[in-house]
Chains A and B, each alone.
Chain A
Amino acid sequence: MNPPSSSAPAETSRPEHLASLASEPEIHPSGLPVHRRLTDLDPVAARRAERQVAALFALSALGTVIFLVGYVAFPLGQGTKDPASLVWSNRLLGGGLALSLFCLGAGAIHWARKLMPVEELVEERHPLHSSAAQRAGLVEQLAASGESTGFTRRKLIKRALLPAAGLLALPPLVLLRDLGPLPGRVLRETLWAAGVRVHSDVTNQPLRPEDIPIGGMVPAIPANLKDVPTENGAQLNARAKAALLLVRMEPRQIVSQQGAQWDYQGILAFSKICTHVGCPLGLYEQQTHKMMCPCHQSTFNLADSAKVVFGPAKRHLPQLPLTVDAEGYLVAAAGFAEPVGPSFWERGGA
Chain B
Amino acid sequence: MTSLPARRRHPLAAALVVLVGLLLTGGAYAALAPAQAAAPTAAQTQALADGKRLFLANCASCHGLSGQGGSFGGGAYAPSLIGVGAAAVDFQVGTGRMPLAAPGVQARRGPVIFTDQEIAALSAYVASLGPGPAIPDQAALNYQGANLQEGGELFRTNCSQCHNFSGRGGALTDGKFAPSLQGVSPKHIYEAMITGPQSMPVFADTTLTPEQKQAIIKYLKTTQAEPNVGGLGLGRLGPVTEGLAGWIIGIGALIAVAVWIGAKTT
Residues of A within 8 A of B (CB): 35, 37-38, 83-84, 86-87, 90-91, 94, 109, 113-114, 118, 200-203, 207-208, 210-219, 247, 280-288, 290, 292, 294, 297, 299, 310
Chain B residue with minimal CB distance to A309?
A: B173
Bound Cα distance A35, B266 (Å): 9
> B173 near A288 (CB under 8 angstroms)?
yes
Chain A residue with minimal CB distance to B203?
A: A216
Contacts of B226 in A (CB 8 A): 83
B199, B207, B229: the one contacting A83 at CB < 8 Å is B229
**Knowing that A37-B266, A216-B202, A284-B201 are A-B contacts, what are 7 other residue pairs whose CB atoms are under 8 Å apart, sorted by A's residue number?**
A200-B207, A201-B157, A202-B154, A214-B202, A290-B173, A292-B172, A310-B173
Contacts of B201 in A (CB 8 A): 215-217, 247, 284, 286
Contacts of A281 in B (CB 8 A): 161
Chain B residue with minimal CB distance to A102?
A: B257
> B203 near A219 (CB under 8 angstroms)?
no
> B158 near A215 (CB under 8 angstroms)?
no
A–B complex contacts, Cβ < 8 Å, 21 sampled: A83-B226, A83-B229, A84-B227, A86-B227, A87-B227, A87-B229, A114-B265, A200-B207, A208-B206, A212-B207, A215-B196, A215-B201, A216-B196, A216-B201, A216-B202, A217-B202, A282-B162, A283-B170, A284-B201, A286-B196, A287-B199
Interface: B176 (CB within 8 A):
yes
Number of interface residues of B (CB under 8 A): 35
Bound Cα distance A281, B161 (Å): 7
Bound Cα distance A41, B204 (Å): 81
Residues of B within 8 A of A (CB): 150, 153-154, 157-158, 161-162, 170, 172-174, 176, 178, 196, 198-204, 206-207, 212, 226-231, 260-261, 264-266
User: How far, in Å, is A216 (CB) from chain B's closest CB?
Assistant: 4
Contacts of A285 in B (CB 8 A): 172-173, 176, 199
B158, B178, B227, B231: the one contacting A219 at CB < 8 Å is B158
> B172 near A203 (CB under 8 angstroms)?
no
9 shortest A-B CB distances, which residue pairs? A282-B161, A217-B201, A211-B206, A285-B199, A216-B202, A215-B202, A213-B204, A286-B201, A213-B202
Contacts of A292 in B (CB 8 A): 172-173
User: How far, in Å, is A322 (CB) from chain B's closest CB?
Assistant: 15
> B228 near A87 (CB under 8 angstroms)?
yes
> B206 near A210 (CB under 8 angstroms)?
yes
Bound Cα distance A172, B227 (Å): 53
Contacts of A310 in B (CB 8 A): 173
User: How far, in Å, is A310 (CB) from chain B's closest CB?
Assistant: 7
Bound Cα distance A287, B77 (Å): 12
**CB within 8 Å for A86 and B202 given contacts A109-B260, A202-B153, A207-B207:** no
Contacts of A280 in B (CB 8 A): 161
Contacts of A297 in B (CB 8 A): 173
**CB within 8 Å for A86 and B199 given contacts A114-B265, A290-B173:** no
Chain B residue with minimal CB distance to A105?
A: B257
> B199 near A211 (CB under 8 angstroms)?
no
Bound Cα distance A210, B206 (Å): 8
Chain A residue with minimal CB distance to B209?
A: A203
Contacts of B196 in A (CB 8 A): 213, 215-216, 286
> B264 near A35 (CB under 8 angstroms)?
yes
User: How far, in Å, is A146 (CB) from chain B's closest CB?
Assistant: 50
Chain A residue with minimal CB distance to B204?
A: A213
Contacts of B153 in A (CB 8 A): 202
User: How far, in Å, is A218 (CB) from chain B's closest CB?
Assistant: 5
A94, A214, A219, A287: the one contacting B157 at CB < 8 Å is A219
Contacts of B202 in A (CB 8 A): 213-217, 286
Chain A residue with minimal CB distance to B206?
A: A211
> B231 near A90 (CB under 8 angstroms)?
yes
Chain B residue with minimal CB distance to A220?
A: B207
Contacts of A83 in B (CB 8 A): 226-227, 229
User: How far, in Å, is B172 (CB) from chain A's closest CB?
Assistant: 6
> B161 near A294 (CB under 8 angstroms)?
yes
> B206 near A212 (CB under 8 angstroms)?
yes
Contacts of A87 in B (CB 8 A): 227-229, 231
Bound Cα distance A35, B157 (Å): 67
User: How far, in Å, is A73 (CB) from chain B's closest CB?
Assistant: 16
Contacts of A203 in B (CB 8 A): 154, 212
Contacts of A202 in B (CB 8 A): 150, 153-154, 157-158
